[in-house]
Amino acid sequence: MKKPKPTSNHPVWEYAQSVAQVSAGTILGITMLASSVVAGGLVGLALSFRNLPDVRVLRNYIPSETSYIYDVNGTLLDSIHDEANREVVELNTVSPNLKRAVLAIEDSYFFSHHGINPSGIARALLANLEEGQTVEGGSTVTMQLVKNLFLTPERNISRKIAEAVLSLRLEQVFTKDQIFEMYLNQVYWGHNTYGAETAARSYFNKHASELNLAEASMMAGLIQAPEVYSPFVNYQKAKERQAIVLDRMQRIGWATPQEVAEAKAAPIKLGEITSFRASQAPYITDAVVQELTSRFGREAVLQGGMRVQTTIDLNLQRKAEETVRDGIASIQSQGIYADQMSLVAVDPRTHFVKAMVGGVDYSKSQYNRAIQALRQPGSAFKPFVYYAAFASGKYTPDSTIMDTPVSYPDGDGYYTPQNYDGSFYGAMSIRQALAQSRNIPAIRLGQDVGINRVIEVCRTLGIKSPMEPVTSLPLGAVDLTPLEMAGAYATFANGGWHSETTTIVQVTDSKGNVLLDNTPQPQLVLDPWAVAALNSTLQDVVNRGTATAARLDRPTAGKTGTTSSERDIWFVGYVPQLAAAVWVGNDDYSPIGKGATGGGYVAPVWRNFMTKALDGVPVETFKPMSNFVRP
């Protein structure tokens, strides 16, 4: 915390000095005598409080702060905090109106006492008796701060003495400005809102620096009983309390009669309660909080005042959510018994997640299928096998592969794969085999290049889920997440260049110090010719294969996925600027209906999303195989 030095032209100093001058000489003399006697007595009593905390610890004190999560363009998605919703600001950024209003009602002699103010207690008692209600506090700002930071709320003489002793100590260590800054950032303003900045944003949708006299006086009036005087709870009571603050400011000469009249009459536009608000993109912010917690710990996320810039484009996120809602409704209307859908979109150039939908309705299920649901990808896994084949140097898209019966030893017996329709096409090109999603050629290629090599390719692409080197792996006999699939395909879209797939661009603390920087560091991890061969082949899947329903007005590559158990259907596809994976199924793994395929039901959903996402985006083509040297 900065330690600003009080100056003679400080606005609150000026007003404090004006108050000090109105005191009569006799009263001033009695006050000074009483203060000296009480202060001296308390210094003696301090010896009895050896176990009191050392106020010097506040030199390194960092109040708990709310963490904020933004989209890639700076739009606030969510605020994360524990009990205290707080944003710390410096004293010089707080409106002078609020400083004066707070001191007027809480401690108008703040700049002339030394932590305790016996005469102030007497004056407060007389003023409150005269008005028949509490119009002036007896505790100083310093005493309130000490109570909030160090002491329990119990009411007894021992605690009050400890409060006074600590207040005297605090004033010996810190300047008035430092104490007042800590107070304004620490004080409770109602509705789990702590600190002037957060309260101003909540009550008036303004920064604390922007408050006018009407708003400042209403906010200052809340300190005594925040929930009682909250304008969100009872606007009339808030106005009555505001009038008390303004009258007090006029009586001590801190506001003119005209200023007070104008402030009382000024219309006040309220904001909204900001504590524990719902996230604008809950599946995203849950995923971000999960990642932050794993890196920094839960306490740092809830209390550390982090500023998190995510990779998400909120406009694209809205389109993805709309696509999922409309898509599941369309699928269900066609007699398919699927209750869930997930969609993940990744920018291949950065591997930034641009949109993530973890389910149909977050309010009904917070389970994030995009990152938590491990589902079999079926034939959507085959591109990893075909890439391995192309990268081996033994195959091209036009190489011949046999689609004929085959069996392989498997445990105590044999594994005999079948095609989806039970037929065999005989000799065919690899391009045709992938376009028609034939199973036997994929199994043959997997055996030729080696299942462990296929797993190695998956690891290179960022897939971390467990994999067993079983013969059926090329047909998708493994559980993966939609995020893993989208991230892996994004590397194909980017010509073999890969970065870590992430939802976070950067994390800083409230002072701007960088805690995490996920600036992309792409590396060429795949053979360029083999990727170009795969991109060419996967375009045939869309143009004339199982995914014609995914065609766009631009070069498009992708692969359908349908499990033999009819529990999962997929389409994962891409253009050079965007890759997206869409999964459909049931949380209980029940079958979704005979004849349900990724090409028939999921590809149209993917196309609808990509059409919206690519609106206005220039058409780009994939680099041809002729640009690269074959391995």
- Report, as residue numbers or ranges, the catalytic residues: 106, 379
Q: Could you give phi then psi for residue 597, rounded to 5 degrees? A: -125, 160
Largest Cα–Cα separation, the chain: 113
The distance of Cα 160 from the centroid of its chain, to the nearest Å, equals: 42
Contacts of 182 (CB under 8 A, 6+ apart): 1, 58, 61, 145, 149, 174
- Cα-based distances in Å from 58 to 91, 121, 178, 625: 16, 26, 10, 65
Nearest-Å Rg of the Cα atoms of the chain is 34
* C-alpha to C-alpha distance for 26 and 37, rounded to whole angstroms: 17
* C-alpha to C-alpha distance for 324 and 609, rounded to whole angstroms: 9
Q: Could you give phi then psi for residue 2, rounded to 5 degrees? A: -70, 155
Nearest C-alpha neighbor of 599 from the set 579, 618, 571, 620 = 571
Element (H, E) at 43: helix 25-45
Q: Are 306 and 67 in contact (CB under 8 A)?
A: yes
* C-alpha to C-alpha distance for 66 and 82, rounded to whole angstroms: 8
Strand, helix or coil for residue 394: coil
* C-alpha to C-alpha distance for 179 and 166, rounded to whole angstroms: 13
Residue with the two structure tokens 């459909």: 584
Element (H, E) at 489: helix 482-493
The distance of Cα 408 from the centroid of its chain, to the nearest Å, equals: 49
Joined together, the tokens standing for residue 226 give: 């925040």
Q: Are 585 and 482 in contact (CB under 8 A)?
A: no
Neighbours of 54 (CB within 10 A): 10
User: Which is it for strands 307-310 and 352-357: parallel, antiparallel or unpaired?
Assistant: unpaired
